[in-house]
A and B are shown apart, each in its own frame.
Chain A
Amino acid sequence: MYAADNEAEGRVSVRYGLLALLDEAPSHGYQLKTAFERRTGGNWALNIGQVYTTIQRLERDGLVESVDIEPAGDDRREYRITPAGRAQLSSWFDNPVVPEAPARDELTIKVLLAVAAGDIDVTALLQRQRRASIEQLQAYTQRKAKADPKRDVAFLILLDALIFRTEAEIRWLDASDARIRSLSERAPAQHPSKETA
């Protein structure tokens, strides 16, 4: 859904996710992978390669260190957080997440281009998208209805994030629809881009 900006954000989340886990107890790479997945509602898959790449970067930056004195293979090394790592983690939790630039997502661009093109049925385009988004929302809601409000808190919080993002998208579709509609009601022109009167 938000593919364009997800990659960098994802890397940051994994980095702090692993730091947070190491802040609780020293761990091996594989333990970190499973704990991270459990914490994030069981639906945020990490591959083990990602875990090791992230740990190597954290180690390079002095935020974690290997517990073992003897060199061992990646899968047997245990890591712990350093004081510098703890300081950086605490500052991350203390500061809000502010997006650096608005997301450049495919849907926004598609709608803008369709409006500008003038010969595309924007109303139909918006409705196709609305239906797809509602169907996604229905699927999320089915999962939510089955979840246990006490046991599955992390999963429910994750689902809420997906649900509210999808809902925001639908509200934006409705608002775009209403804007286009109000233009065509005021003037006979079918498309805003051709409306010159």
Chain B
Amino acid sequence: MTTLVQLEGAARRFGSGHTEVTALHPTSLSVEAGELLAVMGPSGSGKTTLLSLVGGLDKPTEGRVVVAGQDVGSLKPRDLAILRRRTVGYVFQDLNLLAGLTARENVAIPLELDGRPLGEARSLANAALDSVGLASLGDRFPDDLSGGEQQRVAIARALVGGRQILLADEPTGALDSITGESVMRLLRAHCDGGGTAILVTHDAAHAAWADRVVFLRDGRLVDEARPASNPDLSTTAA
């Protein structure tokens, strides 16, 4: 198996001495290609810190974070930006899309930032929209899309150009349960196709789409869950 994300004793502390705050204690964790990992825990338990470290939005103060074979902590800003544009995609709960751009233009942004020719960016954006079932809505502006459609556009943008690692911070938080489920199906399909996704969520029903659920508490990984082998569906009618 290919390990796409690896934390080796990675920690994130803020301040020092009496005012030091540890957002994440030294943590080791690896995520393989094909794996959907969910991270659960109460507010302030370190979930978002963990995701920011993997996404290269923040650097560990101890240990190493290796993403697609690259040590994020030692990358130069330019290489970090390339990692974010080519390998890692982010989806947040809301405020994902730029209102003045069409769905297709929103999806093409990371490719254009990466210097790809417009024609190529456009056709890759179309392919990404197609993969989330929105091929026909590329010309719409975000305001003309439903919440679920907007979130699918955001996922298309996170994955466009074949990015392997999808990081999602409460991506279903603003959606109703059936629409949220369609977002989870997309994450699942991305991983079943050989990619990797790390999902931070409060929602147990959505976390349950993951191959593995890890629990954070006060900045520490305290437990993990894998699917029960024998689902008890045989509710007998007494």
Chain A positions within 8 Å of B, measured between CB atoms, are: 6-11, 13-14, 17, 36, 40, 43-46, 50, 127, 130-143, 145, 158-159, 162-164, 166-167, 170-171, 174, 177-178, 181
| B-chain residues with CB within 8 Å of residue A178 when the two chains form the complex | 42
What is the chain B residue whose CB lies nearest that of A50? B237
Interface of A is mostly: helix
| A-chain residues with CB within 8 Å of residue B234 when the two chains form the complex | 43-45
Pairwise interchain contact B238-A139, C-beta atoms closer than 8 A: no
What is the chain B residue whose CB lies nearest that of A142? B227
Pairs A–B under 8 Å by Cβ, sample size 16: A44-B236, A45-B234, A46-B236, A131-B215, A131-B223, A134-B225, A135-B228, A136-B232, A138-B209, A138-B210, A138-B226, A142-B227, A143-B231, A158-B233, A163-B205, A167-B203
User: In the complex the two chains form, what is the Cα distance from A50 to B237 in whole Å?
Assistant: 9
Q: Does any Cβ of A come within 8 Å of B53's Cβ?
A: no
| B-chain residues with CB within 8 Å of residue A130 when the two chains form the complex | 215, 223
Interface residues of B in 93-133 (CB under 8 A from A): none
Pairwise interchain contact B238-A9, C-beta atoms closer than 8 A: yes
User: In the complex the two chains form, what is the Cα distance from A135 to B38 in whole Å?
Assistant: 12
| A-chain residues with CB within 8 Å of residue B222 when the two chains form the complex | 127
Interface of B is mostly: loop
Pairwise interchain contact B225-A14, C-beta atoms closer than 8 A: no
| A-chain residues with CB within 8 Å of residue B42 when the two chains form the complex | 174, 177-178, 181
If A140-B231, A143-B231, A178-B42 touch, does A167 touch B205 (CB 8 Å cutoff)? yes
What is the chain B residue whose CB lies nearest that of A7? B238
Pairwise interchain contact A141-B208, C-beta atoms closer than 8 A: yes
If A137-B208, A140-B208, A163-B208 touch, does A10 touch B236 (CB 8 Å cutoff)? yes
Pairwise interchain contact A136-B231, C-beta atoms closer than 8 A: yes
Q: Does any Cβ of A come within 8 Å of B47's Cβ?
A: no
| B-chain residues with CB within 8 Å of residue A45 when the two chains form the complex | 234, 236-237
User: In the complex the two chains form, what is the Cα distance from A11 to B237 in whole Å?
Assistant: 7
A10, A17, A145 — most chain B CB neighbours (10 Å):
A145
CB 8 Å contact bits of B182-223 with A (1 = contact, 0 = none): 000100100000000000000111011110010100000011
Pairwise interchain contact A127-B238, C-beta atoms closer than 8 A: no
Q: Does any Cβ of A come within 8 Å of B229's Cβ?
A: yes
Pairwise interchain contact B226-A127, C-beta atoms closer than 8 A: no
Determine how close the nearest CB of chain B comes to the CB of A164; give it in whole angstroms: 7
Q: Does any Cβ of A come within 8 Å of B136's Cβ?
A: no
| A-chain residues with CB within 8 Å of residue B232 when the two chains form the complex | 136
